[in-house]
Amino acid sequence: KKQYRIAVIPGDGIGKEVMPEGLRVLETAAKKHGVSLHFDHFDFSSWDYYEKHGQMMPGDWKEKIGKHDAIYFGAVGWPAKIPDHVSLWGSLIKFRREFDQYVNLRPVRLMPGVPCPLANRKPGDIDFWVVRENTEGEYSSVGGRMFPDTDREFVTQQTVMTRTGVDRILKFAFELAQSRPKKHLTSATKSNGISITMPYWDERVEAMAKKFPGVKWDKYHIDILTANFVLHPDWFDVVVGSNLFGDILSDLGPACTGTIGIAPSGNINPEGDFPSVFEPVHGSAPDIAGQGIANPIGAIWSGAMMLDHLGEKVAGKSIVEAIERTLAERTLRTKDLGGNADTTACGKAVADMVD
């Protein structure tokens, strides 16, 4: 039987608090379903590591984690000590780019029993996927600062859209839409204002749509799209967006389901040439770190996505069902969802519900 090797990187802040709960639930589900997981733990990609070594990761980080079957990640960033762009470009964004994880897959689902901040919404009304381009677009290293510290100082940062990069994320999103009952895809654009890259994005969407005649598709400019997430979340099935638009939509979507604390994600290299990274959508949350109140569901659900990705669908599904049963009970939910369970109690509850 295959043993999966998982690289575990807790990172900073609540990343360190939710990770043990994610591992607890993964271990429980693996045992119940006869899946063999081996965890290797790494302390890099954190402020602690940076403080000791003057860099976010060791020079040979790729050798250390590049051969694992998957990477399970907490969160990184400690802005009081190190600028976010330094810590993020020194770790998470490196994973995404160097491991060519061009798909960032982020489900948005209103769970049974969870109070919805939007009026009159029930489970089923909000159930879609954000498919975010994850290696190019607005997150580019093309640009710079000229004439620093003078009156002539200026900065630029170019959006990069390659034909390969745009087409491959659109293909993934259309395929996902095709596999779903509603077969509906929405594209996030801003081609009225961003006059070169966004019209190009639209053009590639139109070309890709021709290859998927069974998929109904539409597009919205990002401004009204955010409004429609709030007013009409039931309109969406698969939403595809550039790196920045996908980032924004994947906090807004989960917020519409009660909290960003439950949102999971997979940074996926679909070809399997490199390991994929599974992590909650949220960050290190310095404002609540150290209090033991962080919602561990985002991390736990990310573990389920990781099992799915490894092909262990039954075990993955058992975790998602355990999450649903846990969230249905107010007393088992964390504070962000109106409950009074702490991080550990919530994680243990999910582990107990796995079958």
Note the residues at the interface with ligand NAD (CB under 6 A).
14, 75-77, 79, 84, 88, 92, 260-261, 279, 282-288, 294-295, 298, 336
Going by C-beta distance under 8 Å and a sequence separation of 6 or more, which residues neighbour residue 272? none
173 and 184 Cβ atoms separated by less than 8 Å:
no
> Strands 3-11 and 70-75: what pairing?
parallel
Part of the chain binding Mn ion (CB under 5 A), chosen from 49-57, 177-185, 199-207, 241-249: 241-249
Q: Which does 282 bind (CB under 5 to 8 A by kind): ligand NAD, Mn ion, ligand IPM, none?
A: ligand NAD
**Euclidean distance between CA atoms 353 and 347, whole angstroms:** 10
Cα 187 vs. chain centroid, distance in angstroms? 18
Segment 229-248, which members bind ligand IPM (CB under 6 A)?
247
The only residue of 127, 136, 247, 336 in contact with Mn ion, by rule CB under 5 A: 247
Q: Which does 222 bind (CB under 5 to 8 A by kind): ligand IPM, ligand NAD, Mn ion, none?
A: none
Q: Which does 284 bind (CB under 5 to 8 A by kind): ligand NAD, ligand IPM, Mn ion, none?
A: ligand NAD
217 and 184 Cβ atoms separated by less than 8 Å:
yes
SS3 for 260? helix
At closest approach, how far in Å is the CB of 15 from ligand NAD? Answer: 7
Q: Which does 79 bind (CB under 5 to 8 A by kind): ligand NAD, Mn ion, ligand IPM, none?
A: ligand NAD
At closest approach, how far in Å is the CB of 75 from ligand NAD? Answer: 4
Q: Which does 8 bind (CB under 5 to 8 A by kind): ligand IPM, ligand NAD, Mn ion, none?
A: none
At closest approach, how far in Å is the CB of 334 from ligand NAD? Answer: 6
Radius of gyration, CA atoms only, the chain: 20
Residue 262 makes contact with ligand IPM by CB under 6 A: no
Q: Which residue lies nearer to ligand NAD by CB, 88 or 306?
A: 88
**End-to-end Cα distance, the chain:** 21
Write down the number of H helices and E strands in the chain: 12, 12
Q: Which residue lies nearer to Mn ion by CB, 17 or 247?
A: 247
Segment 79-118, which members bind ligand IPM (CB under 6 A)?
88
SS3 for 332? helix
**Euclidean distance between CA atoms 175 and 163, whole angstroms:** 18
**Euclidean distance between CA atoms 293 and 18, whole angstroms:** 10
At closest approach, how far in Å is the CB of 298 from ligand NAD? Answer: 5
Classify the phi-psi angles of 147: left when phi > 0, otherwise alpha if psi is within -120 to 50, otherwise beta. left
| Alpha helices (runs of H) in 133-262, residue ranges in sequence order | 163-178, 197-210, 222-231, 243-256
Q: Which residue lies nearer to Mn ion by CB, 25 or 130?
A: 130
6 and 42 Cβ atoms separated by less than 8 Å:
no
Site string for ligand IPM, 126-155 (x = CB under 6 A): ------------------------------
Q: Which does 75 bind (CB under 5 to 8 A by kind): Mn ion, ligand IPM, ligand NAD, none?
A: ligand NAD
100 and 306 Cβ atoms separated by less than 8 Å:
no
Of the candidates 321, 319, 339, 322, which has an alpha carbon nearest to the alpha carbon of residue 330? 339
The only residue of 281, 289, 299, 327 in contact with ligand IPM, by rule CB under 6 A: 281
Q: Which residue lies nearer to ligand IPM by CB, 87 or 189?
A: 87
| Alpha helices (runs of H) in 84-192, residue ranges in sequence order | 84-89, 92-98, 163-178
Q: Which does 337 bind (CB under 5 to 8 A by kind): ligand IPM, Mn ion, ligand NAD, none?
A: none
Query: Interface with ligand IPM by CB under 6 A: which residues?
Result: 77, 88, 247, 281, 283
